[in-house]
Amino acid sequence: MRNIKLTVAYDGTSYCGFQEQRGTGLLTIQGELERCLHRLSGTTVRVIGAGRTDAGVHARGQVINFNAGGWNIPTERIPLAMNGCLPPDIAVVNSEDVPEDFHARFSAVSKTYRYAIYNSRIPDPMFSRYSYFVPKAIDFKAVREAAALLTGRHDFAAFKAEGSPVKSTVRHLFSLDVQDTSKIVELFFRGDGFLYNMVRIMTGTLLKVGLKKYPPEHVRLILEGRKRELAGPTVPPQGLCLMKVEYSI
């Protein structure tokens, strides 16, 4: 069976997340992709996504795969064909043939997310769809100290949204980089996997440290305590973007 991998970028502002919610009539990224594929192929196509991004979350490097069956469209022409029927806030940026056992979600070895903060006394409407506005001064030295404590293999139970069951809350955060060269502050999280709302809760926690609500060392107590109420707030979705998904193939 022909298995095709696509890299997809999208502005998630108008969507109720990536995952299709069948029978609800809600607008989703998966739903738009599958409708486009159906229009091109004349058959029902189900796509698998690497990350089930929430409502309002964006992507530059979301990865999907699907079984193409008897498709006769050359792989290299799929982006051009799909971009002709997708809405303007979704784009296929790359396509390739992959082995039959490739799975966009389960074959991934790492994901990288970026959270963007607009740090200025005055908001800029041009950035409001893609960043979280924070008007107060941020202590970036303290933020980096706290980020270093989060890096590594830990039980991130305190950084998981309540009511989201999962077999294990242990994850390996390979790196957490803080870039503050302008009014746009970017936090880059690269790990082997992320719990529900984990990046947004970690960002909220780091902001608490940066705004001097508690010291960097408090992050260690949050990890050890394993309780959601110990960590910072869940920051809004619009600052979050799935940047890259990596595979061993």
Residues tagged active-site = 54
* Phi, psi of 93, rounded to the nearest 5 degrees: -105, -15
Q: Whole-angstrom Cα distance, residue 172 to residue 29?
A: 28
Q: Whole-angstrom Cα distance, residue 62 to residue 200?
A: 18
122: left (phi over 0), alpha (psi -120 to 50) or beta: beta
Comparing CA positions, the residue from 240, 227, 222, 207 lying closest to residue 11 is 240
